[in-house]
């Protein structure tokens, strides 16, 4: 058997239907796809490979999948996070008023590099953030994001959509460091999203895909919006949802809680191609609605929403729903390290139930591999190490003090590893991280560009004060003994 690459000698975690774990295993890859998974003894004698990678001392597993994060956040990080809603206000201001295409390109490369170095081969990124702000006034911003991701070599599903009614919204563009503002209608945003989907979905050997988004409608929106605006929002949500169905795209919403799933059901937004994020404090009938419609859930255990309320991930999975893990990264206080979020998820739900057996180790790994692939409609292509699937593979070095002694490798992977233990990453059969360094891009150049674009952004919004250490950084008087 001829192969391009043979990975041999590691503990291979397949995440296949039998959940095989092969000690001293091997994986053969040809033309970007896995052609065989077996013991090293079986494949070493039958496979002739152009390159053989010795994975001794490593654990080999499917590329991790992050089902909910935000483009743009990587250049804002923790700015203003101590000032109440200030961090979200910064997001809204930057994404509409102070982010030229160069910003989105620099941010995309930085975020993709972070994911790559943490073994995240596929990630969902909303093109914007906050409750409703998307950079969908012009396709040029999405194009800049895609260019950056493609250069680094990861897979990205980018969610695009309009802002919530009412419209128009005021946006700004920059040219020669001069700012011009203009009104943006729902029609313009929707046309931008359609153009982005037509131009980019399922391109670059399947590494780029598009999802459609409309902001969540909750009780406060019907209460606080004028009736015509709320009615317009409902109609717009249905238009975006219908387009996603027509084109076979995932439809996603960010920020479901306390009754909003009922509203989504009444509007016809649920279904097997719908991905709802956060889903905190759901009512029992909403859990049933999600399970019965095969709607998918993006659970973000490290997010602020998971502090404000609880996602009933355990109850959802018990009802038969697919629940996958998201980072909600990279800000204001969290990274794209999915190991961190796996560990957080286990403690989060075990503390709630006061039961250390809740959310088993293997289940939480499933939530960011094959389960996450299922949530994105990609389980036939990625998420497990099986013949015929894309070779998205991570090799993690277990020869570290915090990962020793050398036993129970799968437990150590989930409970003790972190993203910095990743040594090699393969996407579509191509090694894009080797010995902890990206192979396709200049990491120093990415960091320098990110710093330069961030400095410009801070200057444009007058945000220097948001970088200062707050007066209560060390706690308030009386907080410490």
Domains 2-62+384-438 and 64-375 agree in fold: no
According to CATH, what is the number of the domain 2-62+384-438? 2.30.40.10
Report domain extents, the chain.
Answer: 2-62+384-438, 64-375
Decide: residue 208, CB within 10 A, 0-12 exposed, 13-18 middle, 19+ buried. Answer: buried
pTM summary value: 0.96
Residue 97: which H helix or E strand, with range?
helix 86-97
Instruction: Collapse the DSSP code of 438 into the 3-class scheme (helix H, G, I; strand E, B; otherwise coil) and give the result.
Output: strand
Residue by residue, DSSP assigns 101-153 as HHHHHHHHHHHHHHHHHTTEEEEEEEEEETTTEE--SSHHHHHHHHHHHHHHT
Question: 64-375, which class in CATH?
Answer: alpha beta
As given in the structure block, the two tokens for residue 224 are 């606080």
- CA 81 – CA 83 distance, rounded (Å): 6
- CA 345 – CA 357 distance, rounded (Å): 13
DSSP designation for 9: E
Helices then strands (H, E): number in the chain? 16, 21
pLDDT in tens, the chain (481 residues): 999 999 999 999 999 999 999 999 999 999 999 999 999 999 988 999 999 999 999 999 999 999 999 999 999 988 888 877 888 889 889 999 999 999 999 999 999 999 999 999 999 999 998 778 999 999 999 999 999 999 999 999 999 999 999 999 999 998 888 899 999 999 999 999 999 999 999 999 999 999 999 999 999 999 999 999 999 999 999 999 999 999 999 999 999 999 999 999 999 999 999 999 999 999 999 999 999 999 999 999 999 899 999 999 999 999 999 999 999 988 788 999 999 999 999 999 999 999 999 999 999 999 999 999 999 999 999 999 999 999 999 999 999 999 999 999 999 999 999 999 999 999 999 999 999 999 999 999 999 999 999 999 999 999 888 888 888 888 876 555 5
Residue by residue, DSSP assigns 260-281 as HHHHHHHTT--STTEEEE--BS
**Among 477, 274, 451, 280, residue whose Cα is nearest residue 377:** 274
- Cis status of the peptide bond prior to 201, with omega within 30 of 0: no
């Amino acid at each position: 058997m001829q192969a391009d690459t043979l990975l041999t000698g590691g503990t291979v975690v397949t995440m296949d239907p039998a959940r095989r774990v092969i000690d001293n295993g091997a994986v053969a890859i040809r033309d970007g796809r896995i052609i065989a998974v077996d013991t090293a003894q079986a494949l070493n004698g039958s496979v002739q490979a152009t390159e053989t990678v010795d994975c001794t001392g490593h654990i080999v597993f499917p590329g991790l999948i992050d089902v909910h994060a935000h483009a743009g956040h990587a250049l804002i990080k923790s700015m203003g996070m101590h000032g109440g809603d200030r961090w979200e206000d910064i997001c809204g201001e930057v994404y509409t008023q102070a982010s030229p295409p160069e910003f989105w390109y620099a941010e995309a490369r930085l975020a993709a590099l972070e994911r790559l170095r943490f073994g995240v081969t596929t990630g969902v990124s909303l093109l914007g953030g906050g409750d409703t702000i998307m950079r969908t006034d012009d396709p040029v911003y999405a194009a800049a994001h895609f260019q950056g991701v493609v250069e680094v070599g990861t897979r990205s599903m980018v969610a695009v959509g309009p802002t919530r009614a009412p419209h128009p919204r005021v946006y700004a563009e920059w040219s020669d460091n001069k700012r011009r503002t203009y009104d943006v209608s729902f029609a313009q945003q929707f046309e931008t999203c359609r153009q982005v989907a037509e131009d980019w979905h399922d391109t670059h050997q399947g590494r780029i895909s598009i999802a459609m988004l409309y902001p969540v409608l909750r009780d406060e929106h019907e209460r606080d919006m004028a009736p015509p605006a709320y009615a317009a929002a409902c109609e717009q949500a249905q238009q975006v949802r219908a387009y996603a169905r027509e084109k076979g795209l995932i439809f996603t919403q960010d920020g479901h809680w306390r009754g909003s799933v009922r509203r989504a059901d009444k509007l016809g937004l649920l279904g097997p191609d719908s991905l709802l994020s956060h889903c905190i404090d759901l009512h029992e009938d909403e859990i049933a609605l999600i399970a019965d419609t095969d709607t998918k859930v993006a659970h973000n255990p490290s997010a602020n929403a998971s502090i404000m309320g609880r996602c009933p991930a355990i109850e959802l999975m018990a009802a038969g729903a697919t629940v996958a893990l998201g980072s909600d990264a990279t800000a204001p206080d969290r990274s794209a390290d999915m190991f961190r979020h796996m560990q957080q998820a286990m403690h989060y739900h075990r503390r709630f139930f006061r039961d250390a057996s809740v959310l088993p180790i293997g289940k939480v790994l499933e939530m960011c591999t094959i389960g996450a692939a299922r949530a994105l409609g990609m389980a036939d292509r990625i998420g497990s190490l099986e013949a015929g699937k894309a070779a998205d593979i991570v090799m993690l070095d277990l020869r570290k003090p915090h990962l020793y002694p050398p036993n129970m490798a799968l437990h150590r992977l989930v409970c003790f590893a972190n993203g910095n233990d990743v040594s090699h990453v393969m996407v579509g059969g191509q090694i894009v991280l080797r010995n902890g360094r990206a192979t396709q891009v200049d990491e120093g150049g990415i960091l320098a560009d990110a710093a330069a674009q961030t400095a410009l952004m801070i200057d444009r919004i007058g945000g220097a004060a948001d970088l200062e250490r707050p007066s209560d950084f060390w706690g308030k008087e009386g907080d410490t003994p």
